[in-house]
Structure 1
């Protein structure tokens, strides 16, 4: 009886906590965009202390989202416990203080290593020529391929996160948001070579009357959008996040227009940045352009249609398009624009297209963690049309990773989510 009461109490407590998160999310992404430098960390992300060596590295469970801090000159170690057949992906977003004096080469490096010290992957992400403090994201992976036998077996693997740059790197801790995901093996062996031919011509930008849709302030709060023309405002130093559902066989494209400032005296290097990230937050492509006060257009180059075999290509524009799901468009306006042209905000128009007919996936032998990460659901498509997040997003991921056992709490949370979704739909712009 005591154990039953404890379980019920735990379930109720978790239910209350999640309801609190839902209340925080209930305003939805259809509200006015925040001004200035701001990053919305995932609600319910677990605090974790990265270790200084592998022996004490804390576990990053598949499907989890975590928070940590990265001091200057430090390395942080985390552990992945993997089976022999799943591919595993880790994403790390670093958020420096708003007053950071950043160098061109400053950024983060994320690497994944086997228990024997073999390198499975590594990637750097830098802040770039604009020296603008904003979130940057790098990713790591343990993929099961014949190319890297040292990273095939089951057991412990280690994620290493470190700051990179020059000796005069900025001081102060950088806040981190870390995510972990796994991709199951295929039921039957597929192609081991990327497609040789695909349409690499840059699609014409989407046209039509712009619909207003404010961007989110982080990956977990990314505003759902689909093909079309979208309008919002952006302030210097701000980063906006959007998420676009892209099915197997489809090819996303985006361009962004920054409005004029009213003056054309001055210039900001690499002022406008547009990035495309895949469902595990791995960067597929990033482009930037300077700003001289008059209107500025910036477009992504063509990327390959989504195909499982794209992972065997060397180019990021092909390699990153390895699975279906929610792709992120991330727009940043450099803080220094305010020095040259004023605090704004500035008008921003996003042109989004998704080319090609959707086809069946490759046939996974199991489920991804988080669930349905590599497919587009009906809820996600509806959310893209209405500007509302689908129920299998942040909160449902927290429920899955947290392991709620109280059925009552789950029912209450689902009911609350339904009410929140209705309020969002009614208030969408």
Structure 2
């Protein structure tokens, strides 16, 4: 009886696990922050910032505000700290609005910094990038001590002054056993994409952000975008593998068949949410539009390249694709725009670096379970739910087997007892 109750309770727990939410018509879904995110309040002084440990945090940042956080680091591992700015969909933003992130030593030495803005399209959407501290010969910030991570918001006076929610993620990558080359591999010219994947497109629903991004492997995937919406997808890439993505935005029912420049925007991020590349395309409802992106082969030494496209492709793990539809499409498109994502992964899996620790647990690596989730189009939560369901199924089989064996033994004993004189 206890076994049956345990299985029932587990099944109820599985049913309660979150999946990819479907928004009501006309409403854009909010960015799904990490379930285990901790709310913090960054300080305006570097001397008083709250302490961050590896994990996910939430905060807000107002126009012109700069917030600090304290980050204790050792002298052996690499640190990657990202910030995702989350303006309200449809809110007014300008070309140069965005965030600057930096990691610095107490003496002001810069360990790493970057910035993210909305660019030419000027439409509100999640934007992200990271600051980092790498262990490397003659590098800055190599000592074990407390460093300071900052997030600063830039906004034009005419932009929406509402505070932006910010999601901060601190990832700690194990150091290496011994040394490795700090010379980036020669990549040459951007290779031509392979032929398009075969097979009919499979239905998929992109997530609202990094945490609920829908998994994809090689193949054709079909989704739809509403004006002002951003959808996220993720592809597992192992060492030596190379990602090619083609996106086709199909014709749609038109309110007005006017051409809109920067109608769609596609951005690619690495496992630590560092921005790799982005591209936009114009669109009118009566004509399809297309974007093609190609990444370099994943190599640890890529991180020593000065360009974002190569330098941020230095990890094995989940790579993210964010696809945004400009809010201005509301005036030209009646409803949603159909979209096909065509993904190809080239190159065989190569041996990775000799980490002095478990890189996969830290978020840098690819497992068989990751590949299965990608093949099914699953988000992280859905993949976890499938794993729990499999465990429950095996537990149920095990409990049933024990019950049947017990009943069988009871029957044999009863027959023997009945045959005694």
TM-score, normalised via structure 1 length: 0.82
1:223 equivalent among 191, 214, 230: 214
Deviates more, 1:80-89 or 1:165-174: 165-174
- The answer for the alignment partner of 1:8 in structure 2 is none
- The answer for the alignment partner of 1:326 in structure 2 is 318
In structure 2, relative to structure 1, the CA distance for the partners of 1:252 and 1:95 (3 Å cut) is same
1:191 equivalent among 181, 185, 193: 181
For 1:327-378, what per-residue CA distance to the aligned partner results, in whole angstroms no more than 9, with x for missing partners?
A: 1111111111112223x2111110101100001111101124x715211001
1:170 equivalent among 160, 169, 174: 160
- The answer for the alignment partner of 1:269 in structure 2 is 261
Partners of 1:29 and 1:36 lie apart in 2 by 13
CA shift at 1:153, angstroms? 0.7
Partners of 2:242 and 2:388 lie apart in 1 by 36
2:289 equivalent among 296, 305, 308: 296
Please say if residues 256 and 350 of structure 1, whose CA atoms lie closer than 8 Å, have aligned partners that are also in contact.
yes
In structure 2, relative to structure 1, the CA distance for the partners of 1:66 and 1:416 (3 Å cut) is farther
In structure 2, relative to structure 1, the CA distance for the partners of 1:373 and 1:164 (3 Å cut) is same
CA shift at 1:148, angstroms? 3.0
2:199 equivalent among 208, 213, 222: 208
- The answer for the alignment partner of 1:112 in structure 2 is 103
In structure 2, relative to structure 1, the CA distance for the partners of 1:421 and 1:175 (3 Å cut) is farther
In structure 2, relative to structure 1, the CA distance for the partners of 1:36 and 1:44 (3 Å cut) is same
For 1:132-182, what per-residue CA distance to the aligned partner results, in whole angstroms no more than 9, with x for missing partners?
A: 211111211111223533x11111111110112434342111011111101
In structure 2, relative to structure 1, the CA distance for the partners of 1:415 and 1:226 (3 Å cut) is closer
In structure 2, relative to structure 1, the CA distance for the partners of 1:21 and 1:140 (3 Å cut) is farther
Partners of 2:269 and 2:393 lie apart in 1 by 27
Gaps of 5+ in 1: 1-15, 396-413, 423-429
Deviates more, 1:73-82 or 1:95-104: 95-104
Please say if residues 391 and 417 of structure 1, whose CA atoms lie closer than 8 Å, have aligned partners that are also in contact.
no
**Aligned-pair Cα RMSD in Å:** 2.9
CA shift at 1:128, angstroms? 2.2
Q: Please identify runs of 4+ aligned residues in structure 1 that moved more than 6 A.
A: 18-22, 30-34, 391-395
Please say if residues 231 and 322 of structure 2, whose CA atoms lie closer than 8 Å, have aligned partners that are also in contact.
yes
- The answer for the alignment partner of 2:35 in structure 1 is 43
Partners of 2:203 and 2:312 lie apart in 1 by 29
Partners of 2:184 and 2:161 lie apart in 1 by 43
Partners of 1:309 and 1:85 lie apart in 2 by 17
CA shift at 1:323, angstroms? 1.0
In structure 2, relative to structure 1, the CA distance for the partners of 1:419 and 1:339 (3 Å cut) is farther
- Say whether residues 1:156 and 2:149 are aligned partners: no
TM-score, normalised via structure 2 length: 0.84
Gaps of 5+ in 2: 1-8, 396-421
CA shift at 1:33, angstroms? 9.7
In structure 2, relative to structure 1, the CA distance for the partners of 1:391 and 1:331 (3 Å cut) is closer
Aligned residues: 383
- Say whether residues 1:55 and 2:47 are aligned partners: yes
Partners of 2:263 and 2:174 lie apart in 1 by 40
- The answer for the alignment partner of 2:341 in structure 1 is 350
Please say if residues 113 and 131 of structure 2, whose CA atoms lie closer than 8 Å, have aligned partners that are also in contact.
yes
Please say if residues 130 and 268 of structure 1, whose CA atoms lie closer than 8 Å, have aligned partners that are also in contact.
no
Please say if residues 187 and 296 of structure 2, whose CA atoms lie closer than 8 Å, have aligned partners that are also in contact.
no
CA shift at 1:315, angstroms? 1.7
- Say whether residues 1:340 and 2:328 are aligned partners: no
- The answer for the alignment partner of 2:409 in structure 1 is none
SS of residue in 2 equivalent to 1:55: helix
SS of residue in 2 equivalent to 1:336: helix
For 1:211-260, what per-residue CA distance to the aligned partner results, in whole angstroms no more than 9, with x for missing partners?
A: 00111111010111101100011111111111111000000111111111
Which entry has the higher C-alpha Rg, 1 or 2? 2
CA shift at 1:392, angstroms? 11
- The answer for the alignment partner of 1:401 in structure 2 is none
CA shift at 1:291, angstroms? 1.4
- The answer for the alignment partner of 1:371 in structure 2 is 361
